[in-house]
Chain A
Amino acid sequence: MDPNIFPRAWKPFFVWAEASGLGTMVRDSIWQFAAVEAVHLLALSVIGGAVLIVDLRLLGLALQRQSVSAVARDAAPWLLGSLITMLVTGWVLMASLAASKYYVNFAFQLKMLFLFLAIVYTYTIRRSFLKRDDSRIPPLMAKIVAVVSILLWSGVGIMGRGIGFY
């Protein structure tokens, strides 16, 4: 029996997504999945940059002459825009084989767990630090905040790549 961290009660949702018009359309096309996947990957590079540029600043490794809040403010619209793009394209990819592939794919399940944690963390704890004046962010705390962010988002990326290999 393959491991599965999704509750059984979620199964009907995945069955519904796979049977939906969108899921059927993408599944039956030879190029739509690839095209959506390409957009998903382009948005990955944007979200990667938007996350890393701020985390590198928090780690004291880039743009030290700019305040944390200023770098975060510049990155914020790119982060939100790419995140929404990732979620929309990710939904389309998932719907194509929701129940038969993704529901039972352990890498996908872990990816969703990492994604949930990364989004909650980014828009609560991390954001509360990014709004502060630099003098009110203890240096060690800044580094911890950045490392946790990089680990959570890396988890999403690695598990995303893992879906294809599981």
Chain B
Amino acid sequence: MSILSFLQWLQATPLSTGIRESTWWYPVIESVHVLSLCLFLGIALFWDLRLLALGLRRVPVSDLASRLMPWTFVGFIFMAASGVLLFVEEPVRFYGNIFFRVKLVALVLAGVNAWFFHYSGAGRSIIDWDTTARTPGGARLAGAVSLFLWAVIVVCGRFIAYNWFKPLV
């Protein structure tokens, strides 16, 4: 089964047609997606600013990790759940949209960047720079890459709505 035929099947499911045909579901899901952007990305942004030594400089990094990161996790759950529903509403169109594809690639790269920071980069030695305002180069790099990728994700997400280019499928 090809990706396209799977997505065509998905688009014919009652969930997909239900969202498409309802007056309210789409606006409600969209609003949840946009508001959870504030919770997820807004909080993640302050984490990145701390890594870049541009904000919350007096707050220990471990405090942010234990007290702030859970909120980005909550925000991400809402973001991802509403995002999946938006995709399910019109999977074939999304699949053929260049901005959607770029967004997905950037999402994966953002995940790799976060994983790399936590498990093999500067994140493993947090104890050494926990309370210092100045952060190690690896942490600053991870923060900058994260900010860039999330900006790409937001901009591409918004641009999915526009049909500037011929659909890829």
Is B102 positioned at the interface, with any CB of A under 8 Å from its CB? no
Interface size, B (range): 35 or more
Say which residue of A34, A45, A65, A153 sits within 8 Å of B45 (CB atoms).
A45
Residue of A nearest to B36 (CB): A48
Asked if residues A38 and B154 are in contact (CB atoms below 8 Å), the reply is: yes
Determine whether the beta carbon of B43 is less than 8 Å from that of A52.
yes
Specify which chain B residues have a CB less than 8 angstroms from the CB of A30 in the assembled complex.
Answer: 164
The chain B residue with its CB closest to the CB of A158 is: B31
CB-CB under 8 A from B139, the residues of chain A are none
Q: Is the CB of B31 within 8 A of A157?
A: yes
Contacts of B110 in A (CB 8 A): none
Residue of B nearest to A50 (CB): B42
Question: Are B158 and A157 in contact, CB atoms less than 8 angstroms apart?
Answer: no
Give the complex CA separation of A49 and B75 in angstroms.
11
Residue contact A63 to B38, C-beta cutoff 8 Å: no
Within A133-166, the residues touching B (CB, 8 Å) are 153-154, 157-158, 160-162, 165
Tell whether A46 is near chain B: CB-to-CB under 8 Å: yes
**Residue among A38, A50, A61 making CB contact with B71, cutoff 8 Å:** A61
Name which of B41, B46, B71, B159 has the most chain A CB atoms within 10 A of its CB.
Answer: B46
- In the complex, what distance in Å separates the CA atom of A44 from the CA atom of B37? 8
- Which one of B39, B58, B154, B155 contacts A52 once the chains associate, using CB atoms below 8 Å? B39
Q: Is A100 an interface residue (CB 8 A)?
A: no
Which residues from chain B contact A74 at a C-beta distance below 8 Å? 55-59
Shortest Cβ distance from residue A164 to the other chain B in the assembled complex, whole angstroms = 8
Among B42, B45, B162: residue with most chain A CB under 10 A: B42
What 6 pairs between A and B have smallest CB-CB spacing?
A48-B38, A49-B42, A48-B42, A45-B41, A38-B155, A165-B27
Interchain Cβ contacts under 8 Å between A and B, 8 examples: A34-B162, A38-B155, A41-B158, A44-B37, A52-B43, A56-B43, A62-B67, A70-B58
